[in-house]
Amino acid sequence: MAKVALVTGGTRGIGEAICNTLKNKGYKVVANYGGNDQKAQEFTERTGIPAVKFDVSDFEATQTAIQQIEVDFGPVEVLINNAGITRDGTMHRMSFDNWDAVIQTNLASCFNTCKAVIDGMRARNFGRIINVGSVNGQAGQYGQVNYAAAKSGIHGFTKALALEGAGKGITVNAIAPGYVDTDMVRAVPEDVLAKIIKTIPVGRLGKPEDIANAVAFLIDDESGFITGSTLSINGGQHMY
């Protein structure tokens, strides 16, 4: 039977590419999104993949929504924690709200979603969890204390949960994308982006599919010996 794969932030950008790639590989994919109903509707029309709205930074809402997803589609055997936001600003200008929103959405969300699926995965002796980190969580980035803290937190979270899942057939890995051509990166001013591209040895932004292919590899049944790892996918920009 097809495995259910839940992709948070699955309706746009990297998440959409992950959804499409997993669907093509035979997974029963469910996408989550946070607020943009129009983009979600267009996504479902385009892909035929259902999109479920809930705020991954809200613990209770996430428990309720994932319980309903399991009723509607079956147990979640693959979880891709991809939803993320940026609220950039240097430390002296950053508000507490922008700090907190990024920590809650990018890091606390991993606790919220994993909490909802971990008991089932343990009971079934199988699970695949991928947490989407970032090159900026590995290297740091000017104007991103919130984002870099959340993303580097993801890498620690991944290793700890990998240890806990290892005896139960649950693998937990992180990917650390470099700059990928999505709405998030298109929000960067053009002159800044041009400078960033000059620092990428392969000479281009990543494509969402570059990330999706790596996710598909890491969640494969045959990848059960890969756990607790962080796979950097950044065109050679940062070698960790």
Of 69 and 83, the one with the shorter C-beta distance to ligand NDP is 83
User: Is 179 among the residues known to form the active site?
Assistant: no
Helices (H) and strands (E) in the chain, counts: 10, 7
For 124-166, give the DSSP string.
HT-EEEEEE--HHHHH--TTBHHHHHHHHHHHHHHHHHHHHHG
Q: Is there binding between residue 35 and ligand NDP (CB under 6 A)?
A: yes
Q: Which stretch binds ligand NDP (CB under 6 A): 8-16, 64-72, 110-118, 164-172?
A: 8-16
Of 20 and 126, the one with the shorter C-beta distance to ligand NDP is 20
- The two three-digit tokens of residue 156, written as one number: 């620690």
Among 138, 173, 182, 232, binds ligand NDP (CB under 6 A): 182
Q: Residue 7 to residues 49, 105, 154, 161, 223: CA-CA distances in angstroms?
A: 11, 14, 16, 18, 19
Q: Is there binding between residue 145 and ligand NDP (CB under 6 A)?
A: no
Cα–Cα distance, 203 to 129 (Å, whole number): 31
Q: Is there binding between residue 33 and ligand NDP (CB under 6 A)?
A: yes
Residues 39-68 that bind ligand NDP (CB under 6 A): 39, 55-57
Q: Is there binding between residue 15 and ligand NDP (CB under 6 A)?
A: yes
Q: Is there binding between residue 161 and ligand NDP (CB under 6 A)?
A: no
- The two three-digit tokens of residue 13, written as one number: 């950008």
The residue count for binding ligand NDP (CB under 6 A) is 30
- The two three-digit tokens of residue 117, written as one number: 């699926």
Q: Is there binding between residue 14 and ligand NDP (CB under 6 A)?
A: yes
For 79-106, give the DSSP string.
EEE-------B-TTT--HHHHHHHIIII
Of 98 and 126, the one with the shorter C-beta distance to ligand NDP is 98
- The two three-digit tokens of residue 59, written as one number: 């613990």
Handedness of CA 69, 53, 22, 233 (dihedral sign): negative
Site string for ligand NDP, 100-119 (x = CB under 6 A): -----x--------------
Cα–Cα distance, 230 to 86 (Å, whole number): 21
Q: Is there binding between residue 152 and ligand NDP (CB under 6 A)?
A: no
Site string for ligand NDP, 83-102 (x = CB under 6 A): xxx-----------------
Among 72, 164, 183, 220, binds ligand NDP (CB under 6 A): 183
AA identity, residue 171: T
Instruction: Give the residues lining the site for ligand NDP (CB under 6 A).
Output: 8-9, 11-15, 32-36, 39, 55-57, 82-85, 105, 132, 134, 177, 179-180, 182-185
- List residues with catalytic annotation: 147
